[in-house]
Chains A and B, each alone.
Chain A
Amino acid sequence: MTTQHVRLTVNGEAREADVEPRLLLVHLLRDVFGLTGTHIGCDTSNCGACTVHVNGRSAKACTMLAIQADGTQVTTIEGMADGATLHPLQQAFWDQHGLQCGFCTPGMIMQAAWLLGQNPRPTEAQIREGISGNLCRCTGYVNIVKAIQQASGQLAVDVSAPGKAAETIEATPAS
């Protein structure tokens, strides 16, 4: 078994590894670098749970070899928050209850981030088209779309939304 050396930047940090050419990018991220926020859903290029950015372009990390990402800049869900401050999309998914089981969420957020980079104020139709390569088995698309609308400044944060309520409950010490 021959390995080849890859160097890439993941979430701003220089990383390297010896990999078999057949190793998939998603396995490099999860199993070698321990970045398990990138999920493997279908493993057949359909569901988009493994969506990351490679040189700023959204990609399905199950459909790219680790070695193809040699020399690139990769961003995963772990690279979105700024310390304890959630990325606006993460905050919006919270506020709008844009997740149920949460499995598709990292991929949804990464694809939404790419979409908003291309088109900062997409229409609802453009949002739906933009996330058409990401599947939510809970079918929670309505709130996912709302979250993306909020993150793009097109929908006010509803303080009575479930996310806000949860935040309040969490912040209250148990009596």
Chain B
Amino acid sequence: MIPAQFDYVRPANLDETLGILKKRQGEAKLLSGGYSLLPLLKLRLAQPGLLVDLRDVSGLDGIVETDDDLRIGSRATHRQIHEDPTIVRRYPMFHEASGGIGDPQVRNWGTIGGSCAHADPSSDWPAVLIAANASLVCRSAAGERVIAAREFFLDTFTTAIEPTEVLTEIRVPRRPKDGGGAYTKLERRVGDFATVGVAAVVVLAKDGTIARAGIGVTAVAETPFAATDAEAALVGQKPSEEAFRRAGQAAAAMSRPVDDSHGPADYKRAMVAEMTLRSLRSAVQRAMA
């Protein structure tokens, strides 16, 4: 499979990149790790006039925890995130999700920003970022926009990024003392896209009830979404199997799966409930640890 013809540039820095995007608006496409875009180019589902390779743009792959948030550069690879000491120690949901994306070669090159900008409806990161109430930072020549993950994934392969913008950073609210998260992915075989994936984040109040809950669901709608009914069902409740099950039912009711080779819609809906339950058990356990 051979991609259609395109021009290729490799800008040296972000300013140069933004200048190119402005000048070649609408025909330029950004290339990060390439593991989402190259397959599309080869299938000719994407035929950009110009490919802008971010390889030489430095400063976009850092992972740092500040007093307010965890900041992950958009060009951080899945492997880098998986192995980062702060992530391993404090953000097990991110560690879990990054370790299950594609296969080792994909994780060596694929980036969190590339994956989010690509916005595959079955991808893992969007569910995680939605559950975590993360934000995505987009830069253009005009300045910076900070977009909530819940408003970023608009439709299948469609995000809130403007053609003149570069996704530069993911900001995740710093994990509080009584907070925890987990991501559970059901896949037919190792390396597959999720049949269903559910990310759950909980923050416990002093009295042990759930003060805040975030539930992100992937692979069962046009785009990953926040299961807000499940979140509402959890807030104020004492963590319990019964509360988790009710949340699972609510998340399942909000999903819109279709029959495909991964399974029939009814099965997927049942699995949304089950994966929600499992993620919540794990998230609560981590919040109490």
Residues of A that sit less than 8 Å from B by CB: 1-2, 4, 20-22, 24, 43-46, 48, 51, 57-60, 62-65, 67-68, 70, 111, 114-115, 129-134
Kindly list the 7 A-B residue pairs having the minimum CB-CB distance in the complex, ordered from nearest.
A133-B103, A21-B8, A22-B3, A132-B190, A63-B38, A133-B105, A57-B108
Q: Given A43-B42, A44-B39, are A2 and B106 neighbors across the interface (CB < 8 Å)?
A: no
User: A1 contacts which chain B residues (CB < 8 A)?
Assistant: 5
The contact string, 1 if C-beta is below 8 Å from chain A, for chain B 30-56, is: 010011001101100000000101010
Within the complex, what minimum Cβ distance (angstroms) separates A59 from chain B?
A: 6
CB distance from A101 to the nearest CB of B (A): 21
Question: Cα distance A67–B51 when bound, in Å?
Answer: 11
The answer on a CB contact under 8 Å between B6 and A59 is no
Complex alpha-carbon distance, A45 and B41, angstroms:
12
A22–B7 Cα distance when bound, in Å, is: 8
Tell me the smallest distance from the CB of B34 to a CB of chain A, in Å. Answer: 6
Chain B interface category by residue count? 20 to 34
State whether A48 touches B42 (Cβ < 8 A): no
Residues of A within 8 A of B51 (CB): 21, 65
B39 touches A45 (CB 8 A): yes
Q: How many A-B residue pairs have CB under 8 A?
A: 81
Alpha-carbon separation in the docked complex, A139 to B2 (Å): 29
12 additional contacts (CB under 8 A) given A43-B1, A132-B104: A21-B6, A21-B7, A22-B41, A45-B38, A57-B108, A59-B108, A62-B42, A63-B39, A67-B10, A129-B104, A130-B104, A132-B190
Bound-complex Cα distance A156 to B278 (A): 42
Residue ID in chain B nearest A60 by CB atoms: B105
Cα A46 to Cα B103 in complex, Å, equals 9
Nearest to B41 among chain A residues (CB) is: A22
Contacts A43-B42, A133-B191; A58 near B106 (Cβ below 8 A): no
Residues of B within 8 A of A46 (CB): 191
**Nearest residue in A to B107 (C-beta to C-beta)?**
A133
Specify which chain A residues have a CB less than 8 angstroms from the CB of B108 in the assembled complex: 57-59
Cβ distance A136 to chain B, nearest Cβ, rounded Å: 14
Contact between A65 and B8 (Cβ–Cβ < 8 Å)?
Answer: yes
Residues of B within 8 A of A (CB): 1-8, 10, 31, 34-35, 38-39, 41-42, 51, 53, 55, 102-106, 108-109, 190-191
Which residues from chain A contact B10 at a C-beta distance below 8 Å? 67, 70
Inter-chain contact B34/A68, CB cutoff 8 Å: yes
- Which of A4, A20, A65 interacts with B38 by CB under 8 Å? A65
How far, in Å, is A4 (CB) from chain B's closest CB?
6
A63 touches B34 (CB 8 A): yes
Q: How far is the CA of A111 from the CA of B102 in the complex (A)?
A: 15
Contact sample, A vs B, 6 pairs, CB 8 Å cutoff:
A4-B8, A21-B8, A22-B5, A45-B38, A65-B38, A133-B191
Q: Which among B1, B31, B51, B109 has the highest number of chain A CB atoms within 10 Å?
A: B109
Nearest A residue to B3 by beta-carbon distance? A22
A2 to B34, CA, bound (A): 21
Question: Across the interface, do A68 and B55 meet the contact criterion of CB distance under 8 Å?
Answer: yes
* A58 contacts B104, C-beta separation under 8 Å: yes
Closest B residue to A131 by beta carbon equals B104
- Assess the B39–A115 pair: CB atoms within 8 A: no
Q: How far is the CA of A44 from the CA of B39 in the complex (A)?
A: 6
Q: Compute how far the CA of A115 lies from the CA of B8 in the bound complex, rounded to whole angstroms.
A: 32
Residues from chain B with a CB closer than 8 A to the CB of A70 are 10
Cα distance, A63 to B37, chains bound together (Å): 9
Query: What distance in Å separates the Cβ of B83 from its nearest Cβ neighbour in chain A?
Result: 10
